[in-house]
C-alpha cells in the first residue's frame, strides 16, 4: 500500500526532527512546567511523539479547531471547542499544531488563549506552508517548511483519512481517492 505514496518526509526524518524540536523546547523551558495545548485532530500523533521526548514537567490540553470541512481548501472562519474549561492563566503555554497553512487557525487559537492570560504563549508546528499564508503568525518552534502541496499522514488527513500513515506524503489525485473509497 505504501509504495504508491509520494513521500515528502520519510518516517526517519520525521522522528529525528521531532526529537530535535523536543530538545530545543526542553532547553528553552528548562526548569519550568509547560502546558502544551494541542490543536485537534491533526496534531495528535505529533503531540504523542514530541511529549515523550521532552525533559520537562508537561500538562496536556486540547482544543478542537474546525475550518476545513472535508475539502482541501479552508472555509475561512475558524471554530474552536474545548472539552472542558481551559485555564491557561499564569502558565507557560505552547500551542501545538500539525501544519500552518493560511495561519488563521493558529491566529484564532492564539487569540483564544491570550485572553486567558497565560504567563507566556509560544507556538510550535510540525509543518508550515509559507506560500499559503494569509495572516502573519509567528511559529516559534517549526519542524519543516514545505511547498504548497496538500499533504497527509503523521496526523494530517484528507476527509478524515490517512492520519495513521507514519510518514508525510503528497495526496495523490483526490478524485482517485474518492473513487477508491466509494467503491469499498
**Residue 177: exposed, middle, or buried by beta-carbon count in 10 A (0-12, 13-18, 19+)?**
middle
Question: Is 26 or 66 the residue whose CB approaches ligand IMP more closely?
Answer: 66
Instruction: Please give the C-alpha separations between residue 114 and each of 6, 64, 89, 106, 148, in angstroms, as whole numbers.
Output: 39, 17, 9, 12, 29
Q: What is the DSSP string of 58-118?
A: EEEEEEEEE--TTSSS--S--EEE-SS----TTSEEEEEEEEESSSHHHHHHHHHHHTT--
Which of these is catalytic: 49, 92, 97, 101? 101
Give the three cell numbers for residue 80.
474552536
* Least spacing, CB of residue 92 vs ligand IMP, in Å: 22
Q: Closest-CB residue for Mg ion?
A: 42
By CB under 5 A, residue 103 contacts Mg ion = no
101 flagged as catalytic: yes
User: Which of ligand IMP, Mg ion, none interacts with 22 (beta carbon under 5 to 8 A by kind)?
Assistant: none
Question: Is 29 or 141 the residue whose CB approaches ligand IMP more closely?
Answer: 141
Q: CA gyration radius for the chain?
A: 16
* Least spacing, CB of residue 57 vs ligand IMP, in Å: 26
User: Which of Mg ion, ligand IMP, none interacts with 172 (beta carbon under 5 to 8 A by kind)?
Assistant: none
Question: Is 42 or 103 the residue whose CB approaches Mg ion more closely?
Answer: 42
Evaluate the omega torsion of the peptide bond into residue 184 and state whether it is cis, within 30 degrees of 0. no
Give the interface with ligand IMP as residue ranges (CB under 6 A): 39, 42, 67-68, 74, 97-105, 150-152, 156
Q: What is the dihedral of CA 168, 83, 133, 118, to 10 degrees?
A: -120
Question: Is 29 or 104 the residue whose CB approaches ligand IMP more closely?
Answer: 104
By CB under 5 A, residue 42 contacts Mg ion = yes
| Residue ranges binding Mg ion (CB under 5 A) | 42, 98
**Catalytic amino acids?**
101
Amino acid at each position: 500500500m505504501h509504495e504508491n505514496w509520494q513521500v515528502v518526509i520519510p518516517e526517519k526524518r520525521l522522528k529525528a526532527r521531532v526529537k530535535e524540536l523536543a530538545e530545543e523546547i526542553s532547553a528553552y523551558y528548562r526548569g519550568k512546567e509547560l502546558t502544551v495545548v494541542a490543536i485537534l485532530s491533526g496534531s495528535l500523533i505529533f503531540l504523542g511523539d514530541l511529549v515523550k521526548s521532552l525533559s520537562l514537567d508537561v500538562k496536556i490540553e486540547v482544543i478542537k479547531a474546525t475550518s476545513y470541512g472535508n475539502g482541501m481548501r479552508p472555509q475561512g472562519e475558524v471554530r474552536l471547542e474545548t472539552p472542558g474549561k481551559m485555564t491557561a492563566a499564569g502558565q507557560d503555554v505552547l500551542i501545538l499544531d500539525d501544519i500552518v497553512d493560511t495561519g488563521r487557525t493558529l491566529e484564532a487559537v492564539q487569540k483564544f488563549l491570550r485572553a486567558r492570560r497565560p504567563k507566556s504563549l509560544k507556538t510550535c508546528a510540525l509543518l508550515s506552508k509559507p506560500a499559503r499564508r494569509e495572516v502573519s503568525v509567528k511559529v516559534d518552534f517549526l519542524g519543516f517548511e514545505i511547498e504548497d502541496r496538500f499533504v497527509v499522514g503523521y496526523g494530517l488527513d484528507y476527509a478524515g483519512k490517512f492520519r495513521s500513515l507514519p510518514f508525510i506524503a503528497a495526496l495523490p489525485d483526490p478524485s482517485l481517492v474518492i473513487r477508491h473509497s466509494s467503491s469499498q
